[in-house]
Structure 1
Amino acid sequence: MFTMVGLDLVAAHLSLQRSLYTYAEHNQADQAADWAQLMAVLYDEFGSWTAVQQHLPDEAALQIDGHKLGQIKAVIITRNNDVIKTQTKATPTPTWKSSPILFHGHQIGVLHMQGYIPSQVGRLKLQITRDFDEAQFAVLAVISLLAFLFISSSIRSFLEPLEQLAESATAMTAGDFDAPLPENGDEEMQKVVNAFSVTQQRLHEARETRKKVLADIHHELRTPLNVIANRLEAIHLGLFHWDEQTAAVLQEETERIQTIVDELEQLNDVDAGVRKLDCIWVVVQEWLPKIVSLFAAEADHRSVNLKLSMPVSPLCIWMDKNKMSQVVVNLVSNALRYTPPGKNIFVGVKSTIGQVLLSVRDEGVGIEPEHLPFVFERLYRVESSRNRETGGAGLGLAIVKEVVNAHGGEVTVRSWPGKGTCFQILLPEHDLNQHDVNQEN
């Protein structure tokens, strides 16, 4: 901006000088006319150009606009082409001004003269130029001051939300996720603030989730550890004797701890690997029966009927076979845990409008409606008493949701208290005839 103002000042200065030069050009043309008229007066007084030339030195004191006749360079070309000079070295050039010399309406010669600037015009030009430049510099100073104040204000208003955002970021690194965010700023700044706000909220939620998870893990591990510690202390004090019952209790609690640790490790693997799925083409009819068959012995032991239904036409899914197998294992394990003897568990798969629907439905105790929105949260336990015989660590369904989401699918649950629960998974379907199938046995 300062460059533009400077260029404007230079342009204005040059324009003024051009105007003054044009004025001087017109003034010099008037000078030539005035001197030509004076020569006509001399011609009238002396009667001929010869007499004028003889008396010209005597008339050298004549002056116009502060310049004497003897001080100017002028040449008179008479109508007879005689040359009369005011100075011996006066030689006309194309830049000289000329004016006809008229006597009683007849041209008796032409005056050629070198233009000059009258003293009063010179002083006026200098005064105008000086006053104009001073005014221009005053304008430049005012504009510069206003521009500086405006730019300083703009920069301050721009940097203020950035400084506040930096303070909030510093506070976040110290663990304070409730630091205020700037509310002012332009549209682009508000976009940055909004993005930062989302990050701040997610970090806050992650911290709260971490606190809750740690508290739940502490609770889950404390119970079996207390049982083991109390029983061993009782044995040490002689209150209990080491027998098969004591060994069975200690083994059960140890297995409970091992289950929690294993599920935490699985969940950690899922968190670390959801973006690194090792996907292959899997034919559902070859994969799912093998997973379900793993629970045949346990189902017989619990007197539960485990039933599998699949369509005849092959279905193909692009998926991480190991992680999706863990999903089915977790769902069927839960179903077996809550299904009483004599009841049924239905595992089914079918194609539905470009998707594969995988469902696990049991005829167990069901889930109360108030618990349904939270069953996929980590370490959430439906049993308020945390019965270790029927309930897991509360991580199995969280693993299910993480894996299904990583595959671009969706998992939902419906339940009817006292009648059973149904988990449904929707995954993208792929045409077996359009893809090469990589099968793993």
Structure 2
Amino acid sequence: MYLQVWIRRWMIAVWIGLLMIVICSVGFLWYDHLQGQSEDSRYVINRARLQVSEIMHYLEQHEQEIASSAEVRDALLNMSKESQVSFIYTGLDGQVLFNASSDTALQQIDVRTGLHYDLYQARTDQDQYRIAFPVVDEAAQAQVGNAIFALPAEDVFVPKTNGALYLLSAIIAVIVVILCISLLLLRRKIRQDVLIPVRQLKDYSEAILKGNYELKATYDQIDELGEVHTMFEQMRMEIQHLSRRRVEQEQAQKELITNISHDLKTPLATLKAYIEAMREGVCPDMDTVMEYAGVMYNNTEKMARLTEDLLLHALKELGQISVTLKERYSKELLQSILQPIAHYVRTTGVHFIEPTDIPDVLIHVDGHRLEQVVSNLITNAMKHTEPGDMISVNTELEQGQFKITIADTGRGILPQDMPFVFERYFQGKADRVSGIEGSGLGLSICKYIIEAHHGTISFRSLQGQGTTFYCLIPL
């Protein structure tokens, strides 16, 4: 899972949990508030009855002796003082028979308004309640009077604990627990999905820095770091590929120098031997001299081609192959290029077919460089043909471009060699087996020159049937 998605879900879960806690807390606080306002009066009356039960019991036992016995009255006064509860005992008609209250002058009460058996009607002020209890004769089981008690509110209502404070403390504790669990989950997620993969990437980077390109960056999750690992793995493979290419190119350059040195050494030795033979006068007549001169010329041409290829390759590496484009008419230019080449090809026994009609159009071209391209392609075709084979050159206009086609009926190119024919130093497997001389630079240089003309070069080849190269130059 993507880390961004996980964090978003984590935040939603935390907020939902906190919101549920807040809603439940508000509900509990509201319920507690309502309970504080509407405590059941039955339980309060029972607490009040328990508060005065001793006095009520004594009244019910001695209610007939109150008026005549000073001892009973003294006992009631002592009980009132000990329990700190003042009361008045009246008859059924409202006449005060005993008064243990602060209002000693009270002699009569109105039984219709002065007796309150209900708690909230008995409230006289903020902190005191006046509650009436009926006094019943135990023997006759009949009400004989009323006891009116003045009770303070703290004795009537049980002191409430501070539930809101406890609830708030519980809420804070739950929130702290939820936050701790959430932070632990977040820490675990960051450690497993961020820190550990980043450390692994650091190890992979150090391995690449030390030249170890075989260590693969593995990561099996689809998230942001998975994408980073994928790009890192692509980078590693690209660096590995470039490193191999660099090693191969260095090796190819060494082989190129070795091959060219060998290729130059052979014609130089031949040239030297023929010159020495001529100096020593072993040529009896002019025909022999001309024969020797022809061999020397061919070897000189071979060395010139090798030297030219090597020079162009060096200039290409430095980016200094100068291509100066000028407006030239194609017909005149191609005729001047093909005429000397055609003569040379025919002397080797290969049939050379020139274009029957060259379109005479203006093209931007460097005549010298185009001659190198055509010469290289025809020379390359000659290496893969035998006497009796054919090399043909054709020209035509195609979609606003001047097209030069060079085809041969030689051996063709092996399929496994086709992707690499324009690579530097590349020599096909068939060339190496058959011992065909070459530096592997000619086609690479041709591609560079044609592209410098803003054109394209391509080929088509069938093994055993020949090869055709196509050069397109914009009009």
TM band (smaller chain):
0.5 to 0.7
For 2:225, what is the secondary structure of its paired residue? Answer: helix
Q: Distance in 2 between matches of 1:405 and 1:166?
A: 42
**In structure 2, distance between residues paired with 1:401 and 1:334:** 14
Can you give the 5+ residue segments of structure 2 that lack an aligned partner in the other structure? 1-10, 47-86, 105-113, 117-121, 127-152, 270-275, 280-292
Query: Partner residue of 1:297?
Result: 340
Aligned pairs for 1:114-263 within 5 A: 120-123=158-161, 125-126=162-163, 129-130=165-166, 132-133=167-168, 135-159=170-194, 160-225=196-261, 253=303, 256-263=306-313
Structure-1-length-normalised TM-score:
0.57
* Cα distance in 2, alignment partners of residues 186 and 152 from structure 1: 20
Asked whether 1:361 is paired with 2:411, we answer no
* Distance in 2 between residues matched to 1:117 and 1:223, nearest whole Å: 119
Secondary structure at the aligned position of 2:211 is classed as coil
User: For 2:165 and 2:225, how far apart are their aligned partners in 1?
Assistant: 48
2:442 paired residue number: 396
8 Å CA contact 1:414–1:422 kept in 2: the answer is yes
Q: Distance in 2 between matches of 1:385 and 1:231?
A: 21
Q: Is the 8 A contact 1:165 1:182 kept in 2?
A: no
For the residue of structure 2 that corresponds to 1:122, the secondary structure is coil
Alignment of 1:73-88 (within 5 A): 86=124
**Distance in 2 (alpha carbons) for counterparts of 1:336 and 1:289:** 24
Secondary structure of the corresponding residue to residue 27 of structure 1: coil
Contact residue 411 and residue 423 of structure 1 kept, 8 A: yes
Do the aligned partners of residues 371 and 167 (structure 1) sit closer, same or farther apart at CA in structure 2, a change above 3 Å counting? same
1:169 to partner: Cα distance: 2.5
Which amino acid letter does the alignment assign opposite residue 407 of structure 2? R
Tell me the distance in 2 between the aligned counterparts of 1:192 and 1:309.
Answer: 60
User: Partner of 2:355 in structure 1?
Assistant: 308
| Structure 1 residues 323-368: Cα deviation after superposition (integer angstroms, max 9, x where no partner) | 995766653453355556774322344548x999763212445445
Equivalent pair of 2:381/2:391 in contact (CA under 8 Å):
no
Q: Which residue is 1:347 aligned to? A: 394
Q: Give 3-state SS (helix, strand or coil) of 1:384's partner.
A: helix
Q: Secondary structure at the match of 2:393?
A: strand
Q: Give a deviation string over 1:206-244, Cα, whole Å, max 9, x none.
A: 2212211211211121244467789999xxxxxx99989
Q: Give matches, 1:277-288, under 5 Å.
A: 287=330
Which of 461, 471, 475 is the equivalent residue of 1:414? 461
Q: Relative to structure 1, is the Cα distance of residues 167 and 327 closer, same or farther in structure 2, using a 3 angstrom cutoff? A: farther
Q: Which residue is equivalent to 2:32?
A: 20
Name the SS of the counterpart of 1:347 in structure 2. Answer: strand
Decide whether aligned partners of structure 1 residues 224 and 412 sit closer, same or farther in structure 2, where only a CA change above 3 A counts.
closer
Q: Percent of aligned pairs with the same residue?
A: 18
What SS does the aligned partner of 1:120 have? coil
2:254 and 2:174 map into 1 onto residues whose CA distance is 75
Q: CA deviation at 1:411?
A: 2.7
| 8 A Cα contact 2:331 2:358, kept in partner | no
**Deviation, structure 1 residue 290:** 3.2
Q: Is the 8 A contact 1:182 1:193 kept in 2?
A: yes
Other structure's SS at 1:147 match: helix
Residues 157 and 185 in structure 1, CA contact (< 8 A), matched pair in contact too: no
What aligned pairs does 1:25-44 form with structure 2 within 5 A after superposition?
25-27=37-39
Q: Deviations over 1:177-199 (max 9, x none)?
A: 11221232324433332332222
Find the counterpart in structure 2 of residue 97 from structure 1. Answer: none
Q: Helix, strand or coil: the match of 2:215?
A: coil
Q: Distance in 2 between matches of 1:116 and 1:138?
A: 32
The answer to whether the Cα contact below 8 Å between 2:358 and 2:395 also exists between their aligned partners in 1 is: no
Structure-2 change in CA distance of 1:408 and 1:261 (3 Å): closer
* Corresponding pairs, count: 361
Question: Would the aligned equivalents of 1:346 and 1:362 in 2 still touch at CA under 8 Å?
Answer: no
Radius of gyration: which is bigger? 2
Q: Structure 2 CA distance, aligned partners of 1:339 and 1:252?
A: 18
Task: Rate the CA distance shift 1:327–1:424 in 2: closer, same or farther, 3 A.
Answer: same
Instruction: Give the drift of 1:286.
Output: 5.2
Equivalent-residue separation in structure 1 for 2:381 and 2:339 (angstroms): 13
The structure-2 alpha-carbon separation of the partners of 1:48 and 1:185, relative to structure 1 and needing over 3 Å to count, comes to farther
Aligned to 1:66: none
1:368-379 superposed matches below 5 A: 368=414, 371-379=417-425
When normalised by structure 2's length, the TM-score is 0.54
| Structural RMSD (CA) | 6.0
CA distance in 1: counterparts of 2:398 and 2:268, whole angstroms: 55
- Give the match's secondary structure for 2:432: coil
C-alpha spacing 1:404/1:46, structure 2 compared with 1 (3 Å): farther
Distance 1:425 1:55, change over 3 A: farther
CA distance in 2, matches of 1:294, 1:117: 128
Q: Taking structure 1 as reference, are residues 169 and 49 closer, same or farther at Cα in structure 2, changes over 3 Å only?
A: farther
1:332–1:50 distance in 2 versus 1, CA, 3 Å: farther
- Unaligned runs of 5+ residues in structure 1 are 35-41, 60-75, 79-83, 91-114, 234-239, 428-437
1:384 to 432, 435, 455: 432
CA distance in 2 between counterparts of 1:311 and 1:55 reads 144
Give the counterpart letter for 2:460 in structure 1: V
The one-letter code of the counterpart of 1:149 is L
